[in-house]
Structure 1
Amino acid sequence: MAKILVMTDLHITEAGTSIIGLDPALRLSETLAHAVKHHSDASRLILTGDLTHHGTPPEYDRLKDTLQDLPWPVSLLIGNHDNRAAFRQAFPNVPTDADGFIQTTIDLPDTRLILLDTVDETPDVPHAGILCPDRLAWLQTALAESPNPCLIFMHHHAFDTGFAGMDRINLANANEVRTLL
């Protein structure tokens, strides 16, 4: 099985700004340098959302600069802190489905990677996610068409984590997603 590196909740900010006194882009650069040194044999890096803190073009530009010259392909997913339109402007070549959601499949020799867009632009619970009927249908097809086992990547989770704050902002239709899976 291929080695996949996964990182989440980068929360990249504009240059000169920080979160709790830390510069997320600097921390990402340090993490990537460590990954290159110790895991250059990985097949892919998957970043699973909250790529930026406010979803602004300068934040996406800073992320793009930070991701230059890596030894692996990078797959990007968005989260509740991201802005789909600004993301698409900064990363126009990231695959989308027929409905414009930022999701795709990647077939490795023995595994299918399924990357899902769980962003809910008008959530009932702030920051929660969803897989709307169109995305659920897309997922069902991606699963059904795969000749191999599948690994699913998404920002919002469909299972309780035990962390109340995280579980409050999971997928609004988590039960439906779990039933499909």
Structure 2
Amino acid sequence: MTVSEIKRDRAPQLVNERETLGGVLDFLRATVVNKVAGLSEEQARSTPVPPSTMTPIGLVKHLAAVERWWFSIDFAVRPVTPPWPDGESFDGFELTGEDTLVSVVEGYLAECEASRAVSRAAELGDPARGEGMAFNLRYALAHMIEETGRHCGHLDLMREVLVGERGQ
């Protein structure tokens, strides 16, 4: 089973700040999925850009982890399991034997939906509720745009090396 491309809509351009931030982030989230669509398990687990040890599947797993961390844990303090155990590295790139490209993408899409739910339930200026957190929802959205956009560039480079496609 492989991952299929999903519909990717450009963010609306003549809307309010909330719709702009959410639209840009959703466009990038769809781009992440489309960058790994059609890759084989072997390609998804490969490290195509030496000396980096990043893999396409590891990047998607990392993005799922940071979605959960920023929105569900630090901002909303939802009762969810942290994406990495206490004392483990703070990145989420590590894979388990159970991880498949399909399962990791499904997990990523589920975390994105959970993040959207957190965002819908709050105002942009609302502060994070996590202990010691000093940011608001606006900052979390802007940060995730930056984080997801940066990793879309990594995925674009990996896809170009793996299958000869780039862009979009």
- Smaller-chain TM-score range? under 0.3
Superposition TM-score, scaled by structure 2 size: 0.27
Superposition TM-score, scaled by structure 1 size: 0.25
1 or 2, which has the higher strand percentage? 1
1 or 2, which has the higher helix percentage? 2
